[in-house]
Amino acid sequence: MSKSNTKRERHVLYNILNKMPRDELLDLYYSQLGDVSKINQIAVSLNVLNNLTIIGRVDHSLIPAYLQKAHVCLSFLEVNKTYSLSPPQKIFEYFAMGKPVIANNIPTHTEYIQNGYNGYVIDMDPAQFKQAVMRLCNSRRQYKQMSRNCIEYSKKYDIRIVENRLVSKIDSLILN
């Protein structure tokens, strides 16, 4: 499943779809903020519309249902100050649902995604994307282990644990 809202993310996805042999194409769910006409046009021109379910903007309450259907989730983000300092919430949601993440190489991804453990960090390159997806598809045992790793890893960022740590820090600052 991919949630995309930048031209760069869409460009990478289009290149991936265009370069993958038709017999290796997987079924993809694609959620895009805003106008989906461009991805529709590209899917038709690449003859991959049958492999792509374009769902457009999704009500927040429906996201868990779509994530449940997904095997792998994507996080291709722009290089900017926001994403250099603050990780996207979606990667923690993906982990909590046991979904390995394929993400581009930016600091907030490399800080949380460990190649082969809970996902893969790649350059914005269709060949690397294909390789990461095929690794997950070709080894059911590895995929299951990575899914378990994702769930376990997500527990470190459970809001209750983070909240308790934050409250303890604030208390220690106030009391000292």
**pTM here?**
0.76
The Cα–Cα gap between 154 and 92 comes to 6
Q: Which of 70, 74, 91 is nearest to 32 (CA)?
A: 74
The Cα–Cα gap between 99 and 76 comes to 15
The Cα–Cα gap between 151 and 144 comes to 11
Give the number of other Cβ atoms within 10 Å of residue 176's Cβ. 5
pLDDT of residue 7: 60
pLDDT of residue 171: 85
Give the pLDDT of the chain (176 residues) as one tens digit per residue: 444 445 655 666 666 666 666 565 556 656 555 567 777 787 777 777 776 677 777 788 888 888 888 888 888 887 778 777 788 888 999 999 999 999 989 888 999 999 999 999 998 877 888 889 888 888 889 999 999 999 999 999 888 877 888 888 898 888 87
**Burial group, residue 167, by CB count within 10 angstroms (0-12, 13-18, 19+):** exposed
Instruction: Classify domain 2-175 at the CATH topology level.
Output: Rossmann fold (3.40.50)
The Cα–Cα gap between 8 and 125 comes to 11
10 touches 4 (CB < 8 A): yes
Q: Which of 16, 33, 12 is nearest to 25 (CA)?
A: 16
pLDDT of residue 147: 96
The Cα–Cα gap between 111 and 29 comes to 26
Half-sphere exposure of 53 (CA within 13 A, CB side): 10
pLDDT of residue 3: 46
pLDDT of residue 10: 62
pLDDT of residue 22: 59
